[in-house]
């Protein structure tokens, strides 16, 4: 959803708003330039009022859920690293291709808007940090050595490697009444090699 976030600024309020905005844009047949012109003038209030005028029922439902804080819940969360290589590639592809993302959501439950899949893959900066020179003392004095070449840098490298494995994740959101159906369907379609307990906590989409 990276392209959509760039145009709308929907990183402020998360995947629910981004998905509603995407379908509202398609409904209006807006070009990219029209989107840029529209969203640069909009406040958050303007955006939600615009969503509420949609002819698409679930877009209006999303806007209502955001306004009244009746948010979807995380019914399943898996590290991307827990999937096989082909599924990892599939989920990472969804970040940049919202049409494929929507198709994947419909595979899970064939009613538009009833499930949201969010692929989280933040830039952790491990490659940049590993190249930072640090001052290291030795028998002949002090030298500047890249972090990834030092014993002193090993703890930080280990932490970054762990985060690279655990933070990138796939999160599935839906209404609690659909939770069990969605969870079972997702796990059947996208089995992970390392099954983890699902998270069952309500998430505020404005926090993302």
What's the CA dihedral at 195, 201, 205, 208 to 10 degrees? -60
- Given a cut of 50, whether residue 2 has pLDDT beyond it is no
| CB of 84 closer than 8 Å to CB of 28 | no
116-139 mean pLDDT:
72
90-112 per-position pLDDT tens digit: 999 998 888 899 999 999 998 88
Most distant CA atoms of the chain, gap in Å:
74
- Given a cut of 60, whether residue 72 has pLDDT beyond it is yes
First to last CA, the chain: 13
Residues 112, 89: Cα–Cα separation, whole Å: 24
pLDDT at 6: 42
Strands 73-79, 169-174: pairing kind? antiparallel
Provide, rounded to the nearest whole percent, the portion of the chain with pLDDT above 70.
Answer: 66
- Given a cut of 60, whether residue 48 has pLDDT beyond it is yes
pLDDT at 38: 84
pLDDT at 154: 67
- What is the pLDDT confidence band of residue 14, given thresholds at 50, 70 and 90? confident
Residues 142, 135: Cα–Cα separation, whole Å: 6
pLDDT at 207: 39
pLDDT at 121: 85
Closest listed residue to residue 74, CA positions, set 207, 206, 204: 204
144-196 per-position pLDDT tens digit: 666 666 666 666 666 666 666 678 899 999 998 899 999 999 999 999 886 55
């Amino acid at each position: 959803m990276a392209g959509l976030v760039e145009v709308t600024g929907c990183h402020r309020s998360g995947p629910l708003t981004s998905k509603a905005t995407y379908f509202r844009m398609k409904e209006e047949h807006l070009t990219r330039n029209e989107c840029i012109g529209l969203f640069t003038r909009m406040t958050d209030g303007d955006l939600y009022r615009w969503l509420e005028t949609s002819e698409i029922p679930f877009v209006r439902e999303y806007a209502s859920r955001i306004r009244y804080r009746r948010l979807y819940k995380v019914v399943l969360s898996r590290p991307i690293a827990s999937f096989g290589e082909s599924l990892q590639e599939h989920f990472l592809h969804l970040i940049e291709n919202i049409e494929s993302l929507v198709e994947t959501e419909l595979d899970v439950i064939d009613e538009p808007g009833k499930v949201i899949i969010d692929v989280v893959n933040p830039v952790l900066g491990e490659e940049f940090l590993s190249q930072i020179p640090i001052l290291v003392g030795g028998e002949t004095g002090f030298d500047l050595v890249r972090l990834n070449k030092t014993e002193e840098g090993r703890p930080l490298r280990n932490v970054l490697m762990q985060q690279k494995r655990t933070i990138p994740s796939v999160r599935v959101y839906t209404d609690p009444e659909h939770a069990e159906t969605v969870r079972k369907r997702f796990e059947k379609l996208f089995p992970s090699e390392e099954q983890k307990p699902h998270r069952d906590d309500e998430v505020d989409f404005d926090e993302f």
